[in-house]
Amino acid sequence: MAQRADSAALNVQPRQRRQVYEELAKVPAGRSVKELLRDRDMPESDLREALRKLDSAGLAQRVKGTWRAVPLETDDHGSTTTEHETKAGDLVGS
């Protein structure tokens, strides 16, 4: 069974790390640091630190030089969702 991350773990991360997670989540096959640097306006050292912190929080994994977002587990019956779907759901529920 694939590893799942708790959505609460993502919610407590600083905005910059959440944004890096969202970039990773867009490509399920994963992205290299070079690819992320092209799309993000942040220094390489900050990006690498964000990836390490996401990894230690169980939100990202590095596999053969490629970083991948760990899918989020929601409270409703263990289903998964993305941050984008969560934000859209919050708007509907308002």
Q: What is the pLDDT of residues 11-53, one digit of tens each?
A: 778 889 999 999 999 998 999 999 999 988 899 999 999 999 9
CATH code that applies to domain 5-93: 1.10.10.10
| Predicted model pTM | 0.72
Whole-Å CA distances, 93 to 59, 77, 89: 26, 19, 6
The strand pairing partners of 66, in sequence order, are 63
- CB-based contact 17:86 (threshold 8 Å): no
For the stretch 67-76, pLDDT in tens is: 999 988 765 5
Q: Which of 42-46, 52-56, 58-62, 80-84 has the lowest mean pLDDT?
A: 80-84
* Mean pLDDT across 52-81: 81
| pLDDT category of residue 3 using cuts at 50, 70 and 90 | low
